[in-house]
Structure 1
């Protein structure tokens, strides 16, 4: 069956697939989800796209039709896979992202920076710090284990980056009553 493939903004976890599937099933839409951030709608001429967009928006998802925005979302999903440890690669982050998205890193970097007002490198750091916060909340790993898990060269490097991004030391963050966290995948 022939369909049209769309990118979906903010579709970053298996729970997102469940929510989107449930909503599209309720609308009677024929679809297939191949991977996070991507959906194929079959017979899109017969689909009430306004209804699809509305149910997606209800859960903070969005159909992406702009090519640059699609590239940005693909970069974000690649970064999320790296940070979450969903991929094991010997490639540098930049090489993995370029290979995954299928474009030169230079072109991706320019588009990403222009659209998000942050470099891919800075975005990776922000996502890693959010993952550090999450792991600290769980309390299952010590800082050395977290540093190793997220590919930091040392606890010192992680600690410096954490303080630079949050304004707090790791200990200050752990002792804080107001531990603000952002969703992974958000800039």
Structure 2
């Protein structure tokens, strides 16, 4: 049976290699592995205990259901905030604190250690994905998009977008139009 678990402390490609080696040394088939997560063929519970010991020796930790739940809630909070808010009046740290009733720094550290990316960078990446959706599927101006997604200015949106995608939002929209015309 296939099982996916979260692993705290995976922060680089070398970590992926070490964790994969640990799983394979225990006779476990790894189907998929990425920073903070391993999908493998599940065996008896005693194998998981030994696996946990070996991972801890290397500085990793299998996350408990509570920790996984926190990560899931943070991701859902980000998605909901980007989908539902028409104007973002609170910063994300405040939203995390209010909704999870936990200190932002604690949540941020858990997220970074688990997902292999800083929480702030994850949020920026999700916002840029949303900008791409708006540019691709709407005719909203950059000013409207910036307001909709809580950017302080069009300039701020453009800088983040270019840093993540390597192109300006207007160039991205032009490419989408060109692709659409080619498909027709």
* Larger gyration radius, structure 1 or structure 2: 2
* CA distances 1:141-184 after superposition (whole Å, capped 9, x unpaired): 111110111111111111110000111111221232698xxxxx
In the alignment, is the contact (CA less than 8 A) between 2:135 and 2:172 conserved in 1?
no
Question: Matches of 1:172 and 1:82 in 2, distance apart?
Answer: 27
* TM-score (normalised: structure 1): 0.56
* CA distances 1:97-119 after superposition (whole Å, capped 9, x unpaired): 12111211111011000011111
Indicate the RMSD between aligned Cα atoms, in angstroms. 2.4
Aligned length: 116
* CA distances 1:27-61 after superposition (whole Å, capped 9, x unpaired): xxxxxxxxxxxxxxxxxxxxxxxxxxxxxxxxxxx
In the alignment, is the contact (CA less than 8 A) between 1:98 and 1:104 conserved in 2?
yes
In the alignment, is the contact (CA less than 8 A) between 1:79 and 1:97 conserved in 2?
no
Structure with the bigger percentage of helix: 2
**Offset, 1:134:** 0.6
Question: Matches of 1:139 and 1:91 in 2, distance apart?
Answer: 25
In the alignment, is the contact (CA less than 8 A) between 1:81 and 1:87 conserved in 2?
no
* TM-score (normalised: structure 2): 0.57
**Offset, 1:91:** 3.1
Task: Find the counterpart in structure 2 of residue 5 from structure 1.
Answer: none
Name the CA shift for 1:156/1:136 in 2 (closer, same or farther; >3 Å): same
Matches within 5 A, 1:1-187: 66-86=65-85, 90-176=89-175
**Offset, 1:121:** 1.1
Question: Matches of 1:88 and 1:153 in 2, distance apart?
Answer: 11
The secondary structure found in structure 1 opposite 2:139 is coil
Q: Which runs of 5+ in 2 are unaligned?
A: 1-62, 180-184
